[in-house]
Amino acid sequence: MAHTLAHGFADPVHEGQAVFRAAMDALSRPGQIRPLATTLAPPAPLIPELAALALALTDADTPVWLDAPLRAEPAVAAFLRFHTGAPLVDAPDRAAFALIADPARCPAFAAFSQGTPAYPDTSATLILAVETLSNSAGPAFAGPGIRGTAHLDAGPLPADWASRWAANHAAFPLGLDLLFVASARLAGLPRSARPVALEAMPCT
Amino acid sequence: MSPQGTVTVSAGTGYNFAYLDEGTKRMIRRAILKAIAIPGYQVPFAAREMPMPYGWGTGGVQVTAAILGAADVLKVIDQGADDTTNAVSIRRFFTATAGVATTTRTAEATVIQTRHRIPEAPLTEGQVLVYQVPIPEPLRFLEPRETETRQLHALAEYGLMHVKLYEDIARHGHIATTYAYPVEVAGRYVMDPSPTPKFDNPKMDDCPALQLFGAGREKRIYAIPPYTQVRSLDFEDHPFRVQRFDRPCALCGAEGVYLDEVILDDAGGRMFVCSDTDHCETRRADGHTGEAA
């Protein structure tokens, strides 16, 4: 059987810029859903949006960790190695970026690099492919980039997600930053996003 | 067909789109994303040599080059003016290497690169303000060692900065710092807003636009996300106050804006005019006039 490699960006300069800009907008305005158009057709279970962020942000300088479903498909590693040149690492704590196709089984946050007090920017960025992504419901957040409060409903996620995020935010300035991708869209959740308890929200 | 090494050459220049190579852009973009996630924290980055000397905005230019897309509309200001050397040359640089549209109108720009002013017209959600920064470390003149200032930021130990402001009061009776006035971002990091007049500090607070800061020689990038609390440091009995001008702009009559002093002759003649040239021209086009117009 002939094995051909799926194509990368047709126009790496402008497609890479557009994907980065969507990620920049998403992280600087947590809870807002951004459109993310891509013509990539990577090998499953790597979805096109996950591949687009990987191609736009990673290269030989950024160790990348793949979750179990992505690791189980050799074509995914071959695709990423060829198009990005990023070293694929087995230990999640060595990764600058983690690509997660099965967010419900996302490893504990402590497994990833949290950064150090002097260099909090050395923490990992997790990119999760979710099925639902909406800002009309879900947990509420406040903080930088958010006018008042914002909702972000992403799933499926582990049952202890709320306490994980509360701990991640409490460790600020250390902590992980998340990008959620779904079909043709993207949202960001930086460590600065503070979970807002529902009872603490003003009744209107 | 690997993206590494594939290059879209801008027509006529021989350079990649927006001058920088794609690997450099990715490195800067990653630094920008971390800077946004940790508001006010200075992310180290591998700043490149640019075809202009340090001090002419190499940091801001690299940030702009990394975020710029073909559809962006770029405005560049130098001390508020669109028509001074630094602004003109940077605008020309991106016209040549990226072919993007440029403007002098604040409202029409999607990316505004600035040296030491924030436009008078309120910024909006679709805009990014890129600051050129000479010395990004607010504690540098108090503690010269980078290893030490990094620890002070890690520990949020900003007593030194308050001592500096207190010494201002002890010497002058008021806080005499008028530019590069330190701010606290989102309740955590103390940050240098670059040498903008303190007049502009309140505009950074709760701003709808994303604010990015690039220091080329010092190799640091930092950010203030939109709608972020930015507080100018002060004391209860010496609250932060901005400069006031006792006369309006001599050309457009604007009040409550930052004015530049212009010497007119060698006999003491002078006038005060808007430092923001676009704001002044817009007002004059709308029919406002000052005493000298």
Say yes or no: B194 and B69 in one domain.
yes
Say yes or no: B178 and B201 in one domain.
yes
Say yes or no: B208 and B82 in one domain.
yes
Say yes or no: B86 and B172 in one domain.
yes
Cβ neighbors of A162 (< 8 A, separation 6 or more) are A139, A195
Say yes or no: B266 and B292 in one domain.
yes
State the total domains in chain B.
2
Q: How do residues B66-91 score in pLDDT, each as one tens digit?
A: 999 999 999 999 999 999 999 999 99
Q: Write out the DSSP string of A169-198.
A: HHTTTS--EEEEEETTEEEEE-TTPEEE-G
Q: Is residue B13, in this structure, part of any structural domain at all?
A: no
Say yes or no: B213 and B254 in one domain.
no
pLDDT at B290 over 90: yes
In chain B, which among 106-135 make CB contacts under 8 A with chain A?
A: none
Predicted pLDDT at B3: 46
Query: For a pLDDT cut of 70, what percent of chain A falls above it?
Result: 95
Predicted pLDDT at B2: 42
Tokens describing residue B146: 């980078």
pLDDT at A1 over 50: no
Say yes or no: B136 and B220 in one domain.
yes
Tell me the fold of A12-193.
Rossmann fold (3.40.50)
The predicted complex's ipTM stands at 0.96
Q: Is residue B82, in this structure, part of any structural domain at all?
A: yes
Q: Write out the DSSP string of A144-164.
A: TT-SS-EE-EEES--TTHHHH
Q: Is B22 on the interface with A (CB under 8 A)?
A: yes
Please, are residues B192 and B133 in contact by the beta-carbon 8 Å criterion? Answer: yes
Q: Is B226 on the interface with A (CB under 8 A)?
A: yes
Q: Do B37 and A143 touch (CB under 8 A)?
A: no
Say yes or no: B81 and B36 in one domain.
yes
Please, are residues B227 and A146 in contact by the beta-carbon 8 Å criterion? Answer: yes
Say yes or no: B211 and B261 in one domain.
no
Query: For a pLDDT cut of 90, what percent of chain B falls above it?
Result: 94
Say yes or no: B69 and B177 in one domain.
yes
Say yes or no: B61 and B114 in one domain.
yes
Q: How do residues A33-70 score in pLDDT, each as one tens digit?
A: 999 999 999 999 999 999 999 999 999 999 999 999 99
**What is the domain extent for residue B265?**
244-293
Predicted pLDDT at B267: 95
Q: Is residue B284, in this structure, part of any structural domain at all?
A: yes
Predicted pLDDT at A197: 83
Q: Is residue B12, in this structure, part of any structural domain at all?
A: no
Predicted pLDDT at B1: 40
Q: Is residue B6, in this structure, part of any structural domain at all?
A: no
Say yes or no: B188 and B293 in one domain.
no
Predicted pLDDT at B292: 86
Predicted pLDDT at A202: 55
In chain A, which among 58-97 make CB contacts under 8 A with chain B?
A: 58-62, 82-85, 96
Mean pLDDT value of segment B142-149: 97
Domain borders along chain A are 12-193
CATH number (domain holding residue B53): 3.40.50.11310
Work out the widest C-alpha separation in chain B, in whole angstroms.
68
Q: Is residue B9, in this structure, part of any structural domain at all?
A: no
Q: How do residues B157-167 score in pLDDT, each as one tens digit?
A: 999 999 999 99
Pick from A114, A121, A122, A192 the residue to mutate for testing the B interface (most B CBs within 10 Å). A121
Mean pLDDT value of segment B126-144: 97
